[in-house]
Amino acid sequence: MGIVTSVHLDINNGWDALNDEVPQGADLVFAHPPYWNMIDYAKFRGKKYVHDISSIGDYDAYVSVMSSLFTRVYESIAAGGRYGVLLGLIRRRGKLYDPARDIQFHGTLVDEVIKVQHNTSSGRQDLSGKYGNSRFTRIVHEKLLIYQKQGYIERSG
């Protein structure tokens, strides 16, 4: 893709998306945030981070925090730049949550990519071959949304 420099940020390596600055001027940001509290990353890694997004208990609070985060991401990118966000569905007590639909994103949606999701809890079978929750169709995909900021990037070559 001709990427010259890339920066990789996660609370796990000391960068807190909710409080630290988003690096400015990137042509492309790729974000893979927690799908609400589907996986408790703190517990998963045996470490507790105070601002871990996956510890937000309330869905509306999660959506609001993520909407603010993506406003900051949008503001941070260069004119004409793009950001992509990979998100999946969550089913909780029979209710379906779709953060990709509920979070407010800025810019123009220029692409939507459907990706097969592996190792989901709804995809696990018991010894008789029955899926965990057979009342619903299994969740087997994630969505990569790509948004573009208005403007023009002058490129050499």
86: enclosing H helix or E strand = strand 82-88
Which of the ranges 8-16, 97-105, 110-118, 148-156 carries the binding residues for ligand SAM, by CB under 6 A? 8-16
Comparing CB distances to ligand SAM, the nearer of 47 and 130 is: 47
Q: Does 65 bind ligand SAM (CB under 6 A)?
A: no
Q: Is the dihedral of CA 6, 140, 48, 52 positive or negative?
A: positive
Q: Does 10 bind ligand SAM (CB under 6 A)?
A: yes
b/e per residue 38-70 (b: at least 16 CB within 10 A) = beebbeeeeeebeebbbbbeebeebbebbeebb
Nearest-CB residue to ligand SAM?
A: 17
Q: Does 52 bind ligand SAM (CB under 6 A)?
A: yes
Among 27, 29, 34, 99, binds ligand SAM (CB under 6 A): 34
- The footprint of ligand SAM (CB under 6 A) covers 10-12, 15-18, 32-34, 41, 51-54
